[in-house]
């Protein structure tokens, strides 16, 4: 006896796929930055130095004296010279009186004239060099104070977000061949 047989034929499905790739672009803009540096504050305070030079003693040493001191000096010198002159006149008068009766009147007058009017020795010396230490110098130094105030920079930074563009991909399918199952019974 013969048994019936089943014969099965299958046809596979065929699909055509169209794939478009996704596209992505990323751009990162630079950060926006603003920096400002304020100038430092600089203050300088100075006091002047003081220099005092006292040359009054040196001026006195070389004969340069003030008007009041000069007047008193010349008045004293004049007084001394007047006293010397009076003493000289009195001495000459005594000489003339003592020799008047002796017949030497002329000779006495000539001798007195020679004493008064001959060349006199005058002391010679350098008078324009002042004594050592006669110029007094006093110096008070000045001061300088420098004050610097540092100022911080002003920084304003803004981070910009990245710019993203994304186009998603697509997959489209087309059935080229449909699946098929064919069943036959053979007897």
pLDDT (tens digit, 9 = 90+) per residue, 125-166?
A: 666 677 788 889 999 999 999 999 999 999 999 999 999 999
d(Cα 79, Cα 148) in Å, to the nearest integer? 70
- The pLDDT of residue 116 is 75
Q: Which of 54, 63, 58 is nearest to 127 (CA)?
A: 63
β-sheet bridge partners, residue 10: 181
Q: Give the C-alpha distances (Å, rounded to integers) separating 155 from 38, 144, 150.
A: 11, 35, 16
Average pLDDT on 38-48 reads 95
Beta bridge partners of 27: 163
pLDDT of residue 49: 93
Which residue has tokens 């540096």? 37
Biggest alpha carbon distance in the chain? 224
CB 53 within 8 A of CB 130: no
What's the pLDDT at 101? 64
Per-residue confidence (pLDDT) for residue 107, from 0 to 100: 76
Tell me the C-alpha distance between 178 and 35, whole Å. 70
CA dist., res. 61 & res. 125, Å (int): 13
Residue 74 has pLDDT above 70, yes or no: yes
Helix (H) or strand (E) holding 3: none
pLDDT at 57 over 90: no
């Amino acid at each position: 006896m013969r048994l019936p047989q089943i014969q099965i034929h299958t046809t596979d499905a065929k699909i055509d796929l169209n794939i478009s790739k996704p596209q992505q672009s990323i751009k990162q803009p630079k950060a926006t930055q603003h920096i400002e540096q304020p100038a430092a504050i600089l203050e300088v305070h100075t006091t002047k130095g003081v220099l005092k030079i006292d040359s009054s003693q040196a001026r006195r040493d070389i004969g340069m004296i003030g008007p009041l001191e000069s007047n008193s000096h010349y008045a004293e010198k004049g007084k001394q010279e007047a006293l010397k002159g009076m003493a000289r006149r009195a001495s000459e008068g005594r000489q003339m009186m003592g020799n008047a009766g002796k017949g030497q009147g002329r000779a006495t007058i000539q001798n007195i004239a020679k004493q008064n009017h001959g060349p006199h020795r005058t002391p010679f010396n350098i008078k324009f060099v002042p004594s050592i230490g006669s110029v007094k110098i006093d110096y008070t130094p000045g001061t300088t104070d420098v004050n610097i105030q540092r100022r911080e920079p002003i920084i304003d930074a803004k981070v910009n977000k990245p710019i993203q563009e994304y186009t998603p991909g697509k997959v489209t399918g087309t059935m080229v061949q449909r699946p098929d199952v064919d069943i036959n019974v053979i007897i």
